[in-house]
Amino acid sequence: MASSIICKPFLRATKPNSSLSPDLQRLHFPSLRISIKPITHKKLQIQAAGSTFGNYFRVTTFGESNGGGVGCIVDGCPPRIPLSEADLQGDLDRRRPGQSRVTTPRKETDTCRIYSGVSEGVTTGTPIHVLVPNTDHREQDYKEMSIAYRPSHADATYDMKYGVRAVQGGGRSSAKETIGRVASGAIAKKILKQFSGTEVLAYVSQVQQVLLPDGSVDHDTVTLDQIESNIVRCPNPEYAEKMIAAIDAVRIRGDSVGGVVTCIVRNAPRGLGSPVFDKLEAELAKAVMSVPASKGFELGSGFSGAFLTGSEHNDEFYTDEHGRIRTRTNRSGGIQGGISNGEIINMRVAFKPTPAISRKQHTVTREKKERELLVHGRHDPCVAPRAVPVVEAMVALVLVDQLMAQYAQCNLFPINAELQEPLSLGFPNFEPAMI
């Protein structure tokens, strides 16, 4: 469509004044010529919300509980890192259903396959696509959920937001979505371990009223083998048995219980996190609070710190035998001013009881009619044991993203050796594969 030309008198313009010089007369036009382009209506464009995490190490999860499969796309992974499906499968096996009597009996192997971003056994720097097919479907278990809302589940709020939802398995609100988190988190953990010797470990520290006493787990020495030595993933054998008994007691009644997962980070590089709005604890809180069923987050002393005075709570500094600045206590949880200080980062994540239980509950239908609902299907009597690798994954994703940010901003040029440390100090074992 051609542009239109409109000519109108401009500010009551008159004929040129004959008393003006010829040059000024040439600049004095009685009308203003304006070229107006045709109006085109553009569609409002927005990015898909809520399914992508990270700034530099970016992860997008996809898929629904009873769809064709679930997985992730990882963008920003460094190239030349050895990687295979086996590197991801270990953590996926820790997350998968049907592991024991304290998890959902749903039987799926959660076998992953890498479709892109890896060539000849190493990452290429391009997006990594990981897919896990769904195999154990029981659509009949969700028939009533298409009519009535499950109490304390996301059924009602998904309808309130979208006006439509995937009924079978809960769609995107299902814990099966966390497969993509765990797969990408396994990649992040490998990068952290190889580059800076950083370890991320989580374990169950509470099930309902069974609470591990403070100091009963040595965060300097606890191992993955100790955590994985029992079905509840508690490194203390005595309390593990008490937790299992608590879960069994409600499981046989068709009920559920909540729990707490403690996560620690050893050998975290100093300097991760940024003031003011991107503090490391803020990023960690957002990450773990996005995990299904999570209801609370604490770092270091957490809420108990509110009972102390400043003199009781402060972590005093000292210089260790290697000349490094350390803190004698760690009530800060390894983070001060939103920035990691090199001490062990420790946090706790509270999980509510599984909302899908095999007991009659009062609810309403989509047509706003009150009725009773008995949920069928296979559900975890306590989500905490299977949440352990998910929490580890989300923490690792935050750390590798912050590591890349720190390297780009503060380590691109020579550091101030009197005040700063190399990000890989003491762990020169990162050896990218040679192509």
How high is the pLDDT of residue 128?
A: 98
Residue labelled with tokens 């590798």: 400
How does DSSP classify residue 148? B
Tally Cβ neighbours within 10 Å of residue 33: 10
pLDDT by residue (tens digit) across 317-329?
999 999 999 999 9
Q: What gap in Å lies between CA 59 and CA 50, rounded to an integer?
A: 11
* 3-class DSSP assignment, residue 253: coil
How high is the pLDDT of residue 140?
A: 61
How high is the pLDDT of residue 10?
A: 42
Q: What gap in Å lies between CA 332 and CA 341, rounded to an integer?
A: 9
Q: What angle do CA 167, 94, 66 make, to 5 degrees?
A: 15
How high is the pLDDT of residue 40?
A: 55
Give the HSE-up count for residue 152: Cα atoms under 13 Å, Cβ half-sphere. 13
Question: Please, what are the domains in the chain?
Answer: 52-411 (3.60.150.10)
Give the chain's residues under pLDDT 50: 1-14, 24, 27, 29-30, 426-435
Specify the amino acid at residue 310: G
How high is the pLDDT of residue 4?
A: 44
Q: What gap in Å lies between CA 366 and CA 334, rounded to an integer?
A: 47
User: What is the pTM (predicted TM-score) of this model?
Assistant: 0.86
* 3-class DSSP assignment, residue 344: coil
- 42 contacts: CB under 8 Å, gap ≥ 6: none
